[in-house]
Structure 1
Amino acid sequence: MPPVRSHIRELVTAYLDRHPEEVTALVPLSSALDAAEGPTARTPLPAHITCSAVVIDHVGRVLLVRHNASGGLLLATGGHVESDDATLMATALRAVHEETGIPPALLRQTTAFCHEPADIDVRAIDANPAKGEPAHHHYDFRFVFHLVPDFVDTTVQAEEVAATFWLPLDQVPSPTLREKLLAAPWGAEPEPVNASAVIHDAAGRYLLHLRDQREGIWEPVAGTTTTRYSAPLSHQALVLNMSEETRGKSDQLRDMVGGEIPATAQVWVDQRNRAVRIRLSLDIPGSVSSITTLTLTELGRPVKVTVPTAEGAEESDTALSG
């Protein structure tokens, strides 16, 4: 399913908290979020949302591509939101993979921007009579990622991209993006404070960004040595793929506690980068306390999971793929 409106509103609100001077320019975007047709579809006019991935390597260069459809302009990789993109960041990650061949596993979020866009650009798009499209605008959400390896080969999507280029931050063509990248609190290289993991599902959709637990990071699980990662679970990740009814209850719970629901996700990863244990912890003092742990002992084979229940509730077994 495409990104839900609440997810987009949260990103816009966080962005405007950092850049209140752009409120007026983004008023039409806020209005579009209330329109009958979703703002991520290609058809809503006079404007809709697109997403870009700004990839920065270890020496502080930005990956740009020469898009065929742009008349030769140098742009960050990006494009329209597809129906399978669960979040706007997932759109950006899919686009950089499709256009340059760089998989999501070789990218990680930056400490400067985390899961929020570094820039939301309002871009005028000329009319395209061949496609029956009048002139309109794109609200381009630009997400920033660090390249994990020192070097990576790129393979362009020839029908979309003519070539790739790595340029210094101060040569980024977009003035608004360039200004924000140059002002961001980082050096040329990612700061090696903790190991981190960007978690995706099998379709490459972004789910969660985890950091290592420095105390007792190495521990055996199911007979293998693992690395334990942990992070607060954002509301965006917590409600991902929930039904509208369940998401509504989660929103009510968030309002009740006056902020993010205090949920923590932990993942134990073996040396072959397979998740062997997953744990979700929820602790609201005086209300709800829950810890759910899933250990996969037969990796790649069907497993049977007994779901722990509260006293008086019925137990149920659920078949999962490990």
Structure 2
Amino acid sequence: MSLAEDVRAALSAWAAPDARNEELRRAYLEHMDAHPDALHRSCAAGHITASAAVLDPSGAKGVLTLHGKVGLWLQTGGHLEDGDATLAGAAAREAEEESGIRGVVMLPGPVRLDRHWVGCCGGTWHLDVQYAAVAPDGAALTIDPQESSDLGWFPVDDLPEPTDDACRALFAAASAAVREQAA
């Protein structure tokens, strides 16, 4: 299965938690139909990206990275790469690259979607597919200065500022998914 087929399958099988996410799910699939390069950053109309809220096993604390270009505390994530076999795998790769944590465990399926404008490629849309990832108990963080200005563990219900509503919503959804899985 190609990465494009995996992305399409992941989005097609996903049961969106609300009307907004269902609208985005359909829009992402339509975008892929209209743009054969929708998985690549070269797609000026916007491209699919993958991110993950990395949480401790209890779902109470999460890893945020201080994005060097944007200046916000955000989840790990980014562009899909040629070597990525699956969308969830891309989110896991980004989580491990940006946090330094090895062995994150991805929860099955996305937890939410977010479409946001970014400055990359001269300005375009990121059609972000967002996952929950569980770090091994006691995992230590390693800052890669090319990826982040800072990195830290924070209580999910008290994320640092500045951040944004999309990040807060992702961590709330991811925390609920981790806690539900643990129950």
User: Which TM-score bucket, shorter chain as reference?
Assistant: 0.7 to 0.9
SS of the residue corresponding to residue 7 of structure 1 reads helix
Kept in 2: contact 1:156–1:164 (CA 8 A): yes
Q: Which residue of 2 aligns with 1:43?
A: 42
2:157 aligned partner: 170
Q: Supply the distance in 2 between the matched residues of 1:177 and 1:142 (Cα, whole angstroms).
A: 7
Quick one: higher RCO (CA 8 Å, sep 6+), 1 or 2? 2
SS, match of residue 154 in structure 2: strand
Query: 2:55 touches 2:175 (CA, 8 Å); kept in 1?
Result: no
> For residues 179 and 61 of structure 1, do their structure 2 counterparts lie closer, same or farther at Cα, with a shift above 3 Å needed?
closer
Pick the structure with greater CA Rg: 1
| Partner in structure 2 of residue 140 of structure 1 | 128
Aligned equivalents of 2:54 and 2:178: distance in 1? 16
Label 1:171 to 1:31 Cα distance change in 2 as closer, same or farther (>3 A): same
The sequence identity of aligned pairs, in percent, is 26
1:152 and 1:91 map into 2 onto residues whose CA distance is 20
Report the equivalent of 2:143.
Answer: 156
Q: Report the CA distance between 1:62 and its aligned residue.
A: 0.7
Segments of 5+ residues of structure 2 without an aligned counterpart are: none
Q: Structure 2 CA distance, aligned partners of 1:185 and 1:145?
A: 8
CA–CA distance in structure 1, aligned partners of residues 62 and 21 of structure 2: 24
The whole-number CA distance in structure 2 between the counterparts of 1:116 and 1:32 is 20
TM normalised by structure 1 equals: 0.49
Pairing 1:176-195 to 2, within 5 Å after superposition: 176-181=169-174, 183-184=176-177, 186=179, 191=182
SS where residue 23 of structure 1 aligns?
helix
When the two structures are superposed, what TM-score results if normalisation uses the length of structure 2? 0.82
Q: 1:81 to 1:180 in 2, by over 3 A?
A: same
Asked if structure 2 preserves the Cα contact closer than 8 Å seen for 1:124 and 1:135, the reply is yes
2:118 counterpart of 1:125: yes
Structure 1 residues 178 and 95, CA, compared in 2 at 3 Å: closer, same or farther?
closer
Instruction: Give, in whole Å, the separation in 1 of the partners of 2:178 and 2:66.
Output: 28
The runs of 5 or more residues in structure 1 that have no matched partner are 194-322
CA contact (8 A) 1:41 1:81 kept: yes
More strand per residue: 1
Corresponding pairs, count? 176
Give the 3-state SS of the residue equivalent to 2:179 in structure 1: coil
